Amino acid sequence: MAESAVQPTGDASESLVPESPRLEPFSGTFVPGICFDSGYCLWAFDFRSVPDDLAPFSDVWVFAPDGERTLYIDSAVARDVISGNHRFDRTVVADVSIDRPRDGEVIVTVVSDDASIAFEVRFEKTVGTRVLNVLSAVTPDAVARTRFGSALSTALLNRLVDANGTKVAGRFGTGEPYRFTADRTWAVTDATATIDGVDAGAVVRPDRPFADGDVKNMSVCIEGTAHVPVRRDSRT
């Protein structure tokens, strides 16, 4: 079932608040980069609201200790969209499940022809996340989209939670622009993962962030919206 493709690597260009090309909304639950002392860093995205010509999908990014970056995703069409905005060494169409069985927990499973991943994340509200959630609720989108609003949101995000310098609006490692809005944010308290049956180890904060351009690994769980380009002429 698995299907893979090799993608080149690249660096991010200088960050700007992106306005062109048109950015389209992908809303859902994000766990943007939980890192373990084995050297692995796992990212999970469950998009429940997407542009009308797409179907909801889930994807998991695996950053390995040797530097290899693999995308596991449950939709071949969505794979083309994600690969247009991010660099991976491999992309694999797989069975991906991201569930929230109870408050404060996300359970992720990935099964493909060549991999098996189980990933559990626990999170809670903190003073910092409560402040972020209030600010998100009262800030008009028209203000949040301005350069001043994005800069202020970035400063508050990094002051109130462990965001590793992530920018609310900027560019991915491909140079493609993005903007994200968080409706609700929680702080990750613990996580466990097994990769092909091997324990990934304890959660750590790496000395050097795992980055995709202006997005860095963050010890948070977010319900929100990622605004990104969709290159329809490259889709199959």
Residue 3 lies in a domain: no
Q: Give the pLDDT of residue 189.
A: 97
pLDDT of 61-86, one tens digit each? 999 999 999 999 999 999 999 999 99
Q: Give the pLDDT of residue 10.
A: 37
Residue 121 lies in a domain: yes
Residue 128 lies in a domain: yes
Residue 234 DSSP symbol: G
Q: Is the pTM of this model over 0.85?
A: yes
Output the six-digit token pair for 96. Answer: 């991906």
Q: Give the pLDDT of residue 13.
A: 34
**What's the CATH number where 40 sits?**
2.40.370
Residue 17 lies in a domain: no
pLDDT of 192-214, one tens digit each? 999 999 999 999 999 899 999 99
Question: What is the domain range of residue 103?
Answer: 24-234
Could you tell me which residue, 10 or 96, shows the higher pLDDT?
96
Residue 5 lies in a domain: no
Which residues are CB-neighbours of 26 under 8 A, at least 6 positions away? 47, 49, 50, 51, 225, 226, 227, 228
Residue 168 lies in a domain: yes
Q: Give the pLDDT of residue 22.
A: 87
Residue 2 lies in a domain: no
Instruction: Give the Å distances, CA to CA, from 232 to 47, 48, 82, 120, 173.
Output: 18, 20, 12, 34, 20
Q: Give the pLDDT of residue 233.
A: 61
pLDDT of 118-145, one tens digit each? 999 999 999 999 999 999 999 998 898 8
Residue 216 lies in a domain: yes
Share of the chain above pLDDT 90, in %: 84
The number of folded domains in the chain is: 1
Please spell the DSSP secondary structure of 104-168, one letter per residue: TEEEEEEE-SS-EEEEEEEEE--HHHHHHHHHHHHS-HHHHTSHHHHHHHHHHHHHHS--TT--S
